Structure 1
Amino acid sequence: MSQIELGYTADYHVHLRQGDMMNAVTPTIREGGISVAYVMPNLTPPITNLEAVLKYKEELQKLAPKTTFLMTFYLSRLLTPELVERAAESGAIRGIKCYPAGVTTNSSAGVDPNNFTEFYPIFEVMQKHGLVLNIHGEKPSVDNNNDEESITVLNAEPKFLPALFKIHNDFPKLKLVLEHCSTRKAIDAIYEINANLKEGETPIVCGSITAHHLFLTVDDWAGNPVNFCKPVAKLPEDRKALIEAATSGKPYFFFGSDSAPHDIAKKSTHIKVSAGVYTQPYVLTYVAEVFDKVGKLANLRGFVSTFGNSFYGIDESKLVCKDKCFLVKKPVQIPEVSVYGNIRVVAFQPGGKFSWRPEWH
């Protein structure tokens, strides 16, 4: 197999930042082989109103006119049910991103992950309009000298999972995505929720999986800031579960890169290293390598195209460009450093050699 048609590819979790970094990385979405980009709202300040989300989309569209952008609000007390209703009816947003306060980049305005009830009126509106609640499923670290209650970056995701089940139980028709799954327990939770899903049915609760979590374990980021992200990569058994889920052909697992660029200066500091792995210009190259290695290239289209688009209700009529993506077997080498004007970033696997590259037809 030397060429694979992937159709209308989608990355359902992208960070495009603002200012110079936005100008630098937004055009690389198409370079990486992605047609549809689901944009995260954790800017400074966060995207919490119609004017801001419309302006942001306009800026992105000018930078990447052939990319279809789907926009989100940032879940916070600044949102109201009435605002969400207006945004849904106008088509300004496709979902709302939930960040527990303090767990990752620009999450200080986030929510208390121990109690979501104050947002239930918003969830009601979202459920009514088919909006998606995208959840960064971690609890903040807590050290209280009790092994059962302490939370670290290694168990922050499993500690969050009861909240996922409660939201789904209270709003059974609310579309939920557990973003960037990083543990076997998270994967098992998505399987459990979808245990009774019938053939051909669209799931209500899904898990997105990044490219970098298909490669990394804890040893790869300990001491290596390029590979440091939130949630952190975990153990080999967790990576194995992620690969099995991504390549399974199950419609409740799809691609969301969580590509998160930072200037190299923010990655090479001795304190407060920025969390985020930058994969955008090569996302399909990375993912194809994993699927190829385990003999599951036939399931790649579902993971990076069909399943996510079906869940989000995206079809050809909603695209700004009808070009289709193909993967061709051609060598790719990742640069050691990528320079965009005065921006310098290091892409995932610098210097690495891979076998697949995207083309548009």
Structure 2
Amino acid sequence: MVVELELPAAADFHVHLRDGELMKTVVPTIRNGGVNLVYVMPNLVPPVTSVARALSYKADLEAIDPSITYLMTLYLCNDVTPEVIYEAKKAGIAGVKSYPAGVTTNSDAGVVSYEAFYPVFAAMEEVDMVLNLHGETPPREGVTVLNAEETFLPTLLDLNKRFPKLRIVLEHCTTAAAVEAVKKCGPTVAATITAHHLYLTIDQWAGNPHCFCKPVAKLPSDRDALVAAAVSGDPKFFLGTDSAPHPRSSKQGSKTAAGVFTQPYALQYVAEVFQREGKLDGLKAFACEYGRAFYKTKELGFESDERVAEKLVIRTEPSDVVIDGYGDGDSAVVPFLAGQKVWSLQWKQ
């Protein structure tokens, strides 16, 4: 029997849309995944550190697909001062993304000491902007890809204690410990969970470069904790795919780029997990509602009534994940679960 579900448009609160030719390939796939609002990461080369650059980038994205709502962010670095935060708030910038130095793609200009940015966090708390944390400890002795997230969690707890009114999102949780840390924090702390981390463990990415991302997928017990959090109905946890496209050529060879491309099938991937867990009735809240509520998308004027009113239908009728990728040759981007079956999705007119 075919299962059919009507939903509002999903909102994806963590996407990488790149720039240049790759941007032109990736942006048109957003709606394919049932999404009409995206929270855009700023780790371009060079990173997005000024309001002018963020607005210029937004204009580039809107020129490709104006039917998407793009929430823009700044890259936390020394150029981002309290004065920049006040300017960003007035310009409609939604948040600031923190990358620990050296932990992932284009993070070389990232944070070494959070204490140096306390005045920035205070300004963000004052104007009600969101701080997004890539929650890993930078490389050092005793820190590996398997414990970098867990060793970061005291920093999350400390920032929440110091700035209790600052809205903080721990991005792309990968461990049971991260789930528990977010639960322990106050109501101003939430977390995103990706589509691929609901599927993967260490064994999958260790043998498949298209499943390799940062932070890496970890143990089966960690994946189970993420699934449990996603389907729990706890509004602290919502969809942020961390869809991170790289050309096929960058996912081969001795230095594999970190990132899993899930944009064209974002909602479809997640729907299968919710159905498997017998929690399909919770998909709407996780993928469509909780993130919007935490980010106050309507209250702060980020999202129009027309966008909020859009509807789609997903069905268990199988649809093929593109196997050859999006784009041409070595420049093509290979999606997660290429060649496998997922749900079908159609927008309502």
Is the structural similarity TM-score above 0.5?
yes
Partner residue, 1:198: none
Residue number among 178, 184, 190 corresponding to 2:176 in the alignment: 184
Task: Report the Cα distance in structure 1 between the residues aligned to 2:184 and 2:120, rounded to whole angstroms.
Answer: 26
Partner residue, 1:294: 277
CA contact (8 A) 2:10 2:267 kept: no
Which one-letter code corresponds to 2:190 in the other structure? Answer: C
Deviation at 1:224, TM superposition (A): 1.1
Query: For 1:91-110, what per-residue CA distance to the aligned partner results, in whole angstroms no more than 9, with x for missing partners?
Result: 1x100000000000000000
Residue number among 277, 302, 311 corresponding to 1:324 in the alignment: 311
Partner residue, 1:152: 144
Residue number among 100, 112, 126 corresponding to 1:128 in the alignment: 126
Query: For 1:276-324, what per-residue CA distance to the aligned partner results, in whole angstroms no more than 9, with x for missing partners?
Result: 0000000111000000001001000111111000000113962373422
Task: Report the Cα distance in structure 1 between the residues aligned to 2:218 and 2:204, rounded to whole angstroms.
Answer: 10
Which one-letter code corresponds to 2:225 in the other structure? Answer: A
Query: For 1:144-174, what per-residue CA distance to the aligned partner results, in whole angstroms no more than 9, with x for missing partners?
Result: xxxxxx1100000000000000100000000
Deviation at 1:331, TM superposition (A): 1.2
Query: For 1:29-57, what per-residue CA distance to the aligned partner results, in whole angstroms no more than 9, with x for missing partners?
Result: 11111011000000000000111101100
Deviation at 1:358, TM superposition (A): 4.3
Deviation at 1:341, TM superposition (A): 4.8
Task: Report the Cα distance in structure 2 between the residues aligned to 1:25 and 1:8, rounded to whole angstroms.
Answer: 18
Partner residue, 1:146: none
Residue number among 287, 290, 300 corresponding to 1:307 in the alignment: 290
Q: How does 1:258-297 map to 2 (within 5 A)?
A: 258-269=242-253, 271-297=254-280
Task: Report the Cα distance in structure 1 between the residues aligned to 2:316 and 2:325, rounded to whole angstroms.
Answer: 23
Does structure 1 residue 215 correspond to structure 2 residue 199? yes
Calculate the TM-score normalised by the size of structure 2: 0.95
Indicate the percent of aligned positions where both proteins have the same amino acid. 48
Deviation at 1:141, TM superposition (A): 2.7
Which one-letter code corresponds to 2:335 in the other structure? Answer: A
Pairwise CA RMSD of aligned residues? 1.5
Gap change, CA 1:174 and 1:36, over 3 Å in 2: same
Partner residue, 2:324: 337
**Which stretches in structure 1 are left out of the alignment for 5+ residues?**
144-149, 195-202
Partner residue, 2:160: 168
**Which stretches in structure 2 are left out of the alignment for 5+ residues?**
none
Task: Report the Cα distance in structure 2 between the residues aligned to 1:172 and 1:358, rounded to whole angstroms.
Answer: 41
Partner residue, 1:249: 233
Count matched residues: 343
Task: Report the Cα distance in structure 2 between the residues aligned to 1:18 and 1:308, rounded to whole angstroms.
Answer: 25
Task: Report the Cα distance in structure 2 between the residues aligned to 1:163 and 1:337, rounded to whole angstroms.
Answer: 41
SS of equivalent residue, structure 2 residue 35: coil
CA contact (8 A) 2:137 2:149 kept: yes
Which one-letter code corresponds to 2:338 in the other structure? Answer: P
Deviation at 1:130, TM superposition (A): 1.1
CA contact (8 A) 1:288 1:297 kept: yes
Task: Report the Cα distance in structure 2 between the residues aligned to 1:83 and 1:191, rounded to whole angstroms.
Answer: 31
